[in-house]
Structure 1
Amino acid sequence: MPENPADVNPADTNPADIWNRIAPWWTEQIGEGNDFQLRLIMPTTDRLLRPVAGMRVLDVACGNGNYSRRLGRTGCRVLAVDAAANFLDDARRRTTPADGEIRYAHCDATDEPAMLALAEPGAFDAVVCSMAVMDFATIDPLLRAVHVLLKPGGLFVYSISHPCFNSNGARMTAELINEAGRMEQVFGVHIMQYNQTTTDLSSGILHQPEPHYTYHRSLTTLFASAFAAGFVVDGFEEPSFPVGSSAKSAFAWAKRPNIPPACVVRLRSV
């Protein structure tokens, strides 16, 4: 780990190297899914993907494989890839025969030739990428490769930190308001920047031992890349915690039920 990660030029750094170093710690925190994944990301992805037995699915940036195993247990035939070898080691250790048909392979999602070498054109019914697209320095090679690997009309479902509300251009707010004799706690988000594409250092979980690079893109930028690669957007959800969710921290997303911390996009190949 560099002495001061903020001084590192992303152009001189392979983001996968950072993820490889923090993979064991990340897996320890996430396991088979933390509250964020189990309550927001996985159910929303399931709704948009509609996995069924026999579906051929490519899981890009699979991490420790928790969603791959969820798919495998439904009967999907899964090829799961990641650029961090330590994540793949964790995934293989956690996978059992009860998790179904899953193969793991080392592949960088930003390397278009490597992605295309994974399978024949049209080999997959669907591709998923859970909470990782914002961690890719470039997304156009991935989108082009996925378009080739999908069968005609195939689906690419991905989730990201919501670029409108959950980025380095936003700050969480917590206020105590006393009006007309009534005190009330109010939790929100202060947005300072959205339109500009930026490269930042970020931590996805509190006390992460080393920050990783994240690449903020507006929805306009994300969708323009999808359209250029031959996709249409035919599904979009913004999951948030339900009103009344409990959380100890004033900075938990559960304290902000009216603000979605993530969005899940369904692209269809045309």
Structure 2
Amino acid sequence: MAADLPDLAVTGSTSGLGGIVARELAGAGFAQRLLVRDPSRAPDLEQAATAVCSYGDAEAARSALEGVRVLFMVSAAEAEDRLQQHFAFVDAAAAAGVEHVVYTSFYGAAPDATFTLARDHYATEERIRASGMDYTFLRDNFYLDFLPLMTDDQGVIRGPAGDGVFSGVAREDIARSAVAVLRDPAIHKGKTYRLTGPEELSMARAAEIISEGTGRNVSFQAETVEEAYASRAPYNAPQWQLDAWVSTYTAMAAGEMAGISLDVHGLTGQDPISLAEFLTRPVL
């Protein structure tokens, strides 16, 4: 029975962010229930049990969440129906009696956010609020981890970001912040944390730092919105995905990823990692 498993549940343990959180919790001696789609991929951790479900399968999710008090919910992989998956999972958590959800949201979450996926994060937050469960929202800025992967074959990052800035945060800092909340969730009920790095960066400056830190010749080329859609057309991606890609940059141009928060330090007691420092760190 799922109710016999640990009452702290962690999603995403087979991927980057959730995997770091699960390992950190295990290292700190916490028992946890790893919610996975494929149990063969679950990490082998001390005091960790597994339960099988997916976000979109409400019946399996409700069964897997039976007896859970605190749930760490990593946002699902980008998909056209991601919001429907989130709603099904949140509803299943509430039906299973989960008391507190810690959700990884996005820094600019709002119903009218420029970044299209930030609207989905806001809607997910609202669904959690309306569920009656306690909540803590971790609103993460743009992941520093993604930046080096955004270059094309010529080492160019292209997009309509203009001179806008973002306050990119390392996935490692998000994970450490999540662990801090999960270690003592009661004091974080009803809180929303804005997780940023220690600096505001334009894409042009980020490209310079990546060049300096890696020895690669990386540059930023500003595009118009029309040019951005045209340059991404060869990928034959669905419209929702193109909109998400392009609006990542237009959200920066609009100032919706700017601003530095002290919440990473407040939660972890450590300064957040800068882009230059991130480039020197081993992959977790």
Same fold at TM > 0.5: no
Q: Give the structure-2-normalised TM-score.
A: 0.42
Q: Give the structure-1-normalised TM-score.
A: 0.44
More strand by share: 1
